[in-house]
Amino acid sequence: MKIYSLLAEKKPDVLKKWFALILETYPKETSSFLKSQNSQTRNPVTQAIYEGIEGIFNGLVHEDDEDKLNIYLDNVIRVRAIQDFSPSEAVSFIFSLKEVIRKELDKEICDPKMFKELLGLETRIDSLANSAFEIYMKCREKIYEIKANEMRNWTYRALHKTGFYKEVRTEE
């Protein structure tokens, strides 16, 4: 398909603009910090996001199956799931890719055949958004499970130290 070869040519620009839009979803101070940190050792968050979106983009352009795309999607969503994003905010970065693609291919999508290909690509991106939401919810469930277990363990230790909780052992 022609749209995929055009996108492959425009990959650096698309990734740069998509990444910039993602960073704008953060609060102003955080966004400024993330933009100023460009090394993986200094900022693994930006590195994880960039590698994730690059993998997603490559997967879309090479028409990889959804399972392969979900691996990269998972990397980005895990970062956003532990941050203070609502579910819709956490997955909104997927939709910003459509915006970037439309702007990059503005002239080309006037051709009806190219526009039809764009609609097919956007359908795949919408499907990724559904997957992103599922991944986000699983990550949040795991976070709540970890917090609940930690609170239970903390309460047990506190009660045990104060003597309010004694284990009853039965003799065999």
The pLDDT of residue 172 is above 60? no
At residue 7, φ and ψ (nearest 5 deg) are: -65, -40
The pLDDT of residue 171 is above 60? no
Distance CA 58, CA 60 (A): 5
Q: How many domains does the chain have?
A: 1
Per-position DSSP letters for 60-71, written without gaps between them = HHTT--HHHHHH
Q: What number of other Cβ atoms are within 10 A of residue 68's Cβ?
A: 14
| Structural domain harbouring 47 | 2-145
pLDDT of residue 118: 95
Whether residue 14 lies inside any domain: the answer is yes
Whether residue 37 lies inside any domain: the answer is yes
What are the pLDDT digits (tens) for 68-95? 999 999 999 999 998 888 999 999 999 9
Whether residue 49 lies inside any domain: the answer is yes
Whether residue 157 lies inside any domain: the answer is no
The pLDDT of residue 167 is above 60? no
Least confident of 22-31, 52-61, 112-121: 22-31
Residue with tokens 């603009």: 17
**Which residues 6+ apart lie within 8 Å of 172 measured at CB?**
none
Whether residue 153 lies inside any domain: the answer is no
At residue 20, what is the residue type? A
Whether residue 102 lies inside any domain: the answer is yes
Distance CA 170, CA 91 (A): 51
For residue 74, the domain's CATH number is: 1.10.490
At residue 22, what is the residue type? I
Whether residue 39 lies inside any domain: the answer is yes
What are the pLDDT digits (tens) for 20-55? 999 999 888 888 888 776 554 568 888 889 999 999
